[in-house]
């Protein structure tokens, strides 16, 4: 009997943001292949007999190659196991979930997609930044910060046609991203938020502008994982931030502003 694979979004970091269906999948799993940014607290909900396989990836280093992960999903499903591929955020947003699903289809393995809350929405929400707002933004886009050598990102359209940009894992490539936005018409005074480890107790939010973002990132030693939010909605951070105020006296969570936006 062939088992089933569940491609499950674990959410952005806060364990409480897992969906009910995602949690049920974890509880019923025989095998869980989990990523680096998955909150390990979620694994505590698995049954004692579960087999846990770390499939995490670091920049320039993969604990398991994607081909190996794909093969494991098929291998365990063919043994009749309930297999959970537990991915940070949402499986279909820069998570290679589409590639894994296609691999399963080609080999006749049943599967389900369980969406998760993505960091592009959750991190700014925890920083008091709505990605849309009637006064500031009627459009937003998710953008990969891992730009290939032959960049296919439509920077002209993003700079001129989208109100809010949520850029994933873009800190190491920020000089190039900034250059592309400015050279394609984005104003240098456009507000920018950098949210490090969003939705967790280690969350750190830095507010600046596109003009000075490189200097600020270096000064504050901002690294990945971080969400970069570009747009006028960032101005609402000072008024709407709630998570950092709640935790300021209890944790290392903090906010830093370098601009009176």
Domain ranges of the chain: 4-114, 119-257
- Residue whose pair of structure tokens reads 């499939």 in the numeric block: 55
Helices (H), ranges, the chain: 20-28, 66-78, 97-106, 119-126, 155-161, 174-183, 213-220, 237-240, 243-247
pLDDT reading at 201 higher than 90: yes
For 217-255, b where at least 16 C-beta lie within 10 A, e where not — what string?
Answer: beeeebebbbbbbbbebbbbbeeebebbeebeeeeebeb
pLDDT of residue 259: 55
Structure tokens at 18: 């897992």
- Look up 35 and say whether it is catalytic: yes
- Look up 169 and say whether it is catalytic: yes
- Look up 57 and say whether it is catalytic: yes
- Residue whose pair of structure tokens reads 């049943």 in the numeric block: 110
Contact between 163 and 138 (Cβ < 8 Å): yes
CB under 8 Å, gap of 24 or more: what pairs does 208-214 form? 208/257, 208/258, 208/259, 209/258, 209/259, 209/261, 210/178, 210/181, 210/182, 210/186, 212/258, 212/259, 213/174, 213/178, 214/174, 214/175, 214/178
* Secondary-structure breakdown of the chain: helix, strand, coil percentages, each rounded to the nearest 5: 35, 25, 40
Share of the chain above pLDDT 70, in %: 91
pLDDT of residue 250: 46
- pLDDT band for position 252 (50/70/90)? very low
User: What is the tens place of the pLDDT at every residue in 139-160?
Assistant: 999 999 987 656 789 999 999 9
Catalytic, out of 57, 78, 163, 211: 57
Summarize the confidence of residues 60-67 as an average pLDDT.
Answer: 78
pLDDT of residue 30: 98
User: What is the tens place of the pLDDT at every residue in 30-59?
Assistant: 999 999 999 999 999 999 999 999 998 766
Q: Does domain 119-257 have CATH number 3.30.950.10?
A: yes
Contact between 155 and 184 (Cβ < 8 Å): yes
Structure tokens at 113: 């997609």
Comparing C-alpha atoms, which of 4, 22, 29 is closest to residue 114?
A: 22
pLDDT of residue 61: 61
pTM for this prediction: 0.91
Catalytic, out of 169, 186, 204, 255: 169
Give SS3 for 231. Answer: coil
- pLDDT band for position 256 (50/70/90)? low
With residue 82 as reference, give the H or E element that holds it.
Answer: strand 82-87
Contact between 176 and 228 (Cβ < 8 Å): no
Residue 254 sits at φ, ψ, to 5 deg, of -155, 160
Catalytic, out of 35, 87, 204, 227: 35
For 125-150, what is the HEC assignment? HHCCCCCCECCCECCEEEEECCCCCC
Least confident residue range of 53-57, 131-135, 156-160, 210-214: 53-57
| Domain made up of 4-114: CATH architecture | 3-Layer(aba) Sandwich (3.40)
Decide the pairing of beta strands 204-209 and 51-54: unpaired
As a whole number of angstroms, the distance between CA 161 and CA 59 comes to: 30
pLDDT reading at 258 higher than 80: no
pLDDT of residue 147: 72
pLDDT reading at 195 higher than 80: yes
Q: Which residue has the higher pLDDT, 2 or 247?
A: 2
pLDDT reading at 120 higher than 90: yes
């Amino acid at each position: 009997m062939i088992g089933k694979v569940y491609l499950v979004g674990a959410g952005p970091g806060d364990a409480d943001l897992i969906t009910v269906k995602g949690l049920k999948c974890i509880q019923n799993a025989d095998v869980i292949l989990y990523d680096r940014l998955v909150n390990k607290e979620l694994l505590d909900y698995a049954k004692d007999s579960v087999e846990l396989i770390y499939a995490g990836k670091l920049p320039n280093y993969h604990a398991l190659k994607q081909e190996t992960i794909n093969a494991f999903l098929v291998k365990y499903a063919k043994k009749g196991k309930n297999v959970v591929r537990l991915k940070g955020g949402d499986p279909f947003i820069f998570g290679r979930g589409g590639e894994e699903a296609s691999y399963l289809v080609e080999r006749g393995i049943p599967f389900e997609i369980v969406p998760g809350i993505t960091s592009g929405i959750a991190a700014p929400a925890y920083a008091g930044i709505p990605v849309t707002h009637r006064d500031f933004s009627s459009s937003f886009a998710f953008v990969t910060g891992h730009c290939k050598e032959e960049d296919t990102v439509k920077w002209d359209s993003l700079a001129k046609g989208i109100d809010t940009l949520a850029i994933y894992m873009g800190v190491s490539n920020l000089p190039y991203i900034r250059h592309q936005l400015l050279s394609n018409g984005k104003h240098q005074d456009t507000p920018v938020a950098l949210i490090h480890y969003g939705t967790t107790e280690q969350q750190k939010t830095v507010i600046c502008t596109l003009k000075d973002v490189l200097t600020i990132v270096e000064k504050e030693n901002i690294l990945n994982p971080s969400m970069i939010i570009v747009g006028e909605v960032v101005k609402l951070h000072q008024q709407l931030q709630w998570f950092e105020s709640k935790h300021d006296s209890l944790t290392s969570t903090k906010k830093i502003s370098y601009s009176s936006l």
